[in-house]
Amino acid sequence: MFDAVVVGAGLAGCVIAERLASQKNWKVLIVEKEKHIAGHCYDSRTEFGLLIHRYGPHLFHTNSKLVWEYLSQFTEWDYYQHHVQAFIDGRCVPLPFSFETMDLLFPKELATRLKEKLLRIYTFNQKVPILELMKQNDPDIQFLGSYIYDKVFKNYTAKQWEMLPEHIDSMVTARVPVLVGRDTRYFSDIYQAVPRNGYTCMMENMVNHRNIKLILGLNFLEIGEVRDHTITIGGKTFDGPIYYTGPIDELFGYCFGELPYRSLELKFQTIQKPYYQSCATINYPNNYDYTRITDFKHIHPLDTSQTTILIEYPKKFKKDENEPYYPVFTDESQNKYQEYRKLVEKYKNLILIGRLAEYTYYDMDDVVEQALKTVEGIGYGR
């Protein structure tokens, strides 16, 4: 009955299903174990109408015109520039750590000297990993790197990952740079916005197609089996392509052991005042068990006397207890993942796509672009 099966109705799965259905006229089955689509982008409204992100804040940003124009077929946008602060030494200062942050935290003479030296080494508006600053020979630059490492980076990373930054893959540490400039926006991409009616609505529009059948609340492994180089669904061999977006270790019964992830405990609170804090997200690197607080009214403005905040507590991922959020990139985990990849190569019709299946960290635009490329040779115009 179906030409292709997509496992998972997150961003990757919805893009792939929409492309196959609209561009190839294929009949596509999407199987999603949760009772909602949109994966970790899932959002919904509170009782007083505020749109909140149920798995933590998701802020869309991209430099890809292709990705922007593709998604714009399914949503209108509210343009939004994300701002993040960090609570350091009793005050909130902008992140990424920039010239503005230095002016707020350091004496004027020291801040001026640091900015002049940074501009001799790096170009204006360049983003520099914190660990790179600590390797410079200049004592002032070393001081700056050490200060940021101690005040912003070390304890936050220890809470988030349960390990020090130097033990984390550079893919992760590079995501928290120092900005050699004054831009206080968290992202500098050309396109920055949030879907006007939410990510869930956007993805509902994607899969609202006569060629797509969506089943929610069903784990693919309850109807599918991957064994002996063959994939069966409902006891019958399925030869069409299967686009798998779920955890790769779960697909193969954890035969090489579980891949490590970090999870989160998310605590939402409704606050009886228009805003809880001065910007959307404030990070708490030190002295608190939680890592950040998000005030959703800054992201989705609403004329009400109350707001909803989200407090995030990092947790160890435990299968069947909480959600896998972030792959833990170590040599051991990467080697284990490669063992699973070798198994995938034995199945000619199995295609991995997405953060869990590929065991990597994707921004939203990255996963959309990757999904578009995965459906090879198909244009993006509907």
The pLDDT value recorded for residue 24 is 94
Domain boundary residue, one of 179, 206, 235: 179
Neighbours of 346 (CB within 10 A): 11
| Helical segments of 244-382, H only | 248-251, 331-344, 355-358, 364-374
- Please say if the pLDDT value at position 220 is more than 80: yes
The pLDDT value recorded for residue 164 is 74
pLDDT in tens, 87-140: 999 999 999 999 999 999 999 999 999 999 999 999 999 999 888 898 899 999
Task: Flag whether 65 is in a domain.
Answer: yes
Task: Flag whether 363 is in a domain.
Answer: yes
Ranges 180-184, 204-208, 325-329: which has the least confidence: 325-329
Q: Which bin fits 304, alpha (ψ -120 to 50), beta or left (φ > 0)?
A: beta
Domain boundary residue, one of 118, 153, 179: 179
The pLDDT value recorded for residue 120 is 96
> Per the structure, how many domains does the chain have?
2
- Same structural domain for residues 168 and 36? no
Q: Which two tokens stand for residue 132?
A: 């790179």
Q: Residue 173 — very low, low, confident or very high, per pLDDT cuts 50/70/90?
A: low
The pLDDT value recorded for residue 86 is 97
The pLDDT value recorded for residue 172 is 63
Task: Flag whether 319 is in a domain.
Answer: no
Pair 326, 259: CB distance under 8 Å: no
- Same structural domain for residues 10 and 70? yes
Pair 379, 73: CB distance under 8 Å: no
- Same structural domain for residues 160 and 200? no
State mean pLDDT over 5-12.
98
Task: Quote the CA–CA distance of 176 and 378 in Å, as a whole number.
Answer: 35
- Please say if the pLDDT value at position 83 is more than 80: yes
The pLDDT value recorded for residue 382 is 33
Question: If you write DSSP's letter for every residue of 311-345 in order, what string do you get?
Answer: EEEEEE--TTTS---EE---HHHHHHHHHHHHHHT
Task: Flag whether 187 is in a domain.
Answer: no
State mean pLDDT over 318-328.
94
- Same structural domain for residues 120 and 73? no
- Same structural domain for residues 235 and 339? yes
Task: Quote the CA–CA distance of 179 and 210 in Å, as a whole number.
Answer: 48
Contacts of 141 (CB under 8 A, 6+ apart): 114, 117, 118, 121, 133
Pair 365, 190: CB distance under 8 Å: no
As a whole number of Å, the end-to-end CA separation of the chain is 24
Please give the mean pLDDT across all residues of the chain: 94
The pLDDT value recorded for residue 154 is 87
State mean pLDDT over 142-169.
86
State mean pLDDT over 200-206.
98
The pLDDT value recorded for residue 174 is 61
Task: Flag whether 292 is in a domain.
Answer: no
- Same structural domain for residues 106 and 223? no
- Please say if the pLDDT value at position 318 is more than 90: yes
- Please say if the pLDDT value at position 381 is more than 50: no
Sole residue written with tokens 């640091």 = 114
- Same structural domain for residues 331 and 355? yes
- Same structural domain for residues 218 and 331? yes
The pLDDT value recorded for residue 169 is 67
- Please say if the pLDDT value at position 302 is more than 80: yes
The pLDDT value recorded for residue 377 is 60
CATH value at residue 367? 3.40.50.720
pLDDT in tens, 268-299: 999 999 999 999 999 999 989 999 999 999 99
Q: Which two tokens stand for residue 86?
A: 């960090």
pLDDT in tens, 224-264: 999 999 999 999 999 999 999 999 999 999 999 999 999 99
Task: Flag whether 334 is in a domain.
Answer: yes
Contacts of 282 (CB under 8 A, 6+ apart): 84, 85, 86, 87, 92, 292, 293
- Same structural domain for residues 252 and 364? yes
**Structural domain for 230, as ranges:** 4-78+196-259+327-374
